[in-house]
Structure 1
């Protein structure tokens, strides 16, 4: 009996030792195969970099990290299928998605499975203040719309025309509703609200004509970079001097690459300070450039912050403690440019920085 007990104990120790080396599986979901895939690709790349760096440093408590990637295709059915396949792989967490419409599609699956959905960038107000499996690292559409209204009105744009992409309706309609409330509350007016559906054959010339028809003081685009670039080009055919702005969703390098001269002078908000010279941010930026030969956009920076939160929480999680609770209990976290905190629902906040496109680059507005 004593020998059997000893052998059982030794077997348990061996199994525990083997388990210590089993990888921690981290899933990613984002748009990787459609026309607005720049935010998804940038986020995936940042997560790859973070995992590679952590594994090189010994992983999490000596366990390596393993990445499993899913493509939501910016389509609800595709997203649900990809999410189901990811959940079948038994990940500790799913990082993403990168648009609010895709969050609406996959969050019920995460809730049902009890798996944390850690989204670096989604902002739609529908996802704030909810006790679910979603943890958000971004501010809300209400926060952003209020800041845009303040800045645009201060620039004399009292009559604003808006174009918005209903393909990501959960985000764009939330953003537009909050903007209308803030604008009208401060004495401004939305003189045109033109919806469109993002596609390769969208008649952007017609959208531009409808935006220009009421002779607005400015035009705002609530859309992704690829569509904002095309809209700006069409508007510039009708007017060379109408002030243009776009929401934070469009604030990527793809806008600079596709927009050319048409986006010069455009105002956008960004969730990070591109001119930050702190050693930690510069080290990340240089590592990202070296690994992927591209600048890290806002979704890359937010995803790297999400990885910081995730790795710290995993390392400090108590035995049997749910990951969501570990994330909430171990805050705050040292993000690349700000301290990351969460309320009891897993909602966070971050500052934004307004920039204008000048000579083909983003420059902060002082």
Structure 2
């Protein structure tokens, strides 16, 4: 019941600013994990999408029609996600923003594809989902690019043996990311002496997991996990091997990583899909609006959620009568907050990756 009430209140807020709500609205769905362990990933993404819709409604919507953002929580559970998407399809949405994780994207595509529904994920990055002629679009580059950059950087740092812990609760992402890193690092002459999986839905004893990884005598540890689990892993690593270098992926690149991690994540390296210190007027205007609306700084998924919604709204505005939405998305370019967004013929996009290290409680861009 609380989830339904929350969704209704957000819908009302998203409609605020459109003068004539008697006009048939344009309905857009949004789905992400907004409860549980991955909430720090999903909630800011929702906030970003909501802000984009509110701003569009304040300028008259699309051809005078207000935008309804219908929001659902997938709870990072397959059955919940499928049921939520079926509900949204019943409400005749024009397109769906989300899910945020590759695991949930894979779950819902067998439902959305037969229905002819365009899906735009702000953050899904699994290689498995790329190169397919379907209705799935995404703003994040695949982890192939990210892991090649990461492997090259850490090889230059003198690291040769990197052990890995990865979360199979987002298996589509974590397993493909592991293989991309293993391949890229191996081509340079490095190796992954041990890789251990865990399931964040049934959290293990992280001290035992770290102890097992350390038995392989690695030069560093790589965590393919959410911010919460990366913090828990880092805390144990700092206890058992204080000076060992730590690495994470974009999945962990939320504000909660620093808020919860504190000293344990100092010196940790990871990729980012935006630059928090960008001084462009476009990004600064978004940042100010986000702070006013949500009383907090925007993070990685806030930016990606905002951009995904903005791309979709721009495409809907450009679409001619009877023109497939997929065609509009494939033919155009869209202005993001820090870079231009262009989709290839498969709906994949290339995005600049910023390599960062955590120093004094801040994400510092190093390349």
Q: TM-score range by the shorter chain?
A: over 0.9
- Structure 1: gaps of 5 or more residues: 1-17
Contact 1:20 1:62 survives alignment (8 Å): no
- Per-residue deviation, 1:125: 1.1
The correspondence of residues 1-366 of structure 1 with structure 2, limited to 5 A, is: 21-199=23-201, 201-329=203-331, 331-366=332-367
- Per-residue deviation, 1:199: 3.6
In the alignment of these two chains, the number of paired residues is: 348
Aligned-partner Cα distance in 2 for 1:308–1:89: 21
SS of 1:37 mapped into structure 2: helix
Aligned-partner Cα distance in 2 for 1:221–1:295: 25
- Match of residue 3 from structure 2: none
Q: Report the RMSD for the aligned CA atoms in angstroms.
A: 1.4
Which digits, 9 at most, give the CA deviation of each residue in 1:46-83, with x for residues without a partner?
01111111100110111110110111110111111111
Contact 1:166 1:196 survives alignment (8 Å): yes
- Structure 2: gaps of 5 or more residues: 1-19
Aligned-partner Cα distance in 2 for 1:341–1:294: 29
Aligned-partner Cα distance in 2 for 1:364–1:200: 34
Aligned-partner Cα distance in 1 for 2:344–2:216: 43
Q: Give runs of ≥4 in structure 1 deviating > 3 Å.
A: none
Contact 2:120 2:136 survives alignment (8 Å): yes
Contact 2:169 2:201 survives alignment (8 Å): no
Aligned-partner Cα distance in 1 for 2:262–2:57: 40
Aligned-partner Cα distance in 2 for 1:217–1:59: 54
- Per-residue deviation, 1:212: 1.2
Aligned-partner Cα distance in 2 for 1:104–1:277: 36
State the TM-score, normalized to the length of structure 1: 0.93
Return the index of the structure with the highest Cα Rg.
Answer: 1
Q: Greater CA deviation, 307-316 or 255-264?
A: 307-316
Which digits, 9 at most, give the CA deviation of each residue in 1:72-112, with x for residues without a partner?
11011111111111111110011000111100100111101
- Match of residue 11 from structure 2: none
Which digits, 9 at most, give the CA deviation of each residue in 1:17-67, with x for residues without a partner?
x99921100100100111111111011000111111110011011111011
Aligned-partner Cα distance in 1 for 2:127–2:37: 25
Which digits, 9 at most, give the CA deviation of each residue in 1:207-227, with x for residues without a partner?
110121122111110000000
SS of 1:357 mapped into structure 2: strand
Aligned-partner Cα distance in 2 for 1:114–1:19: 27
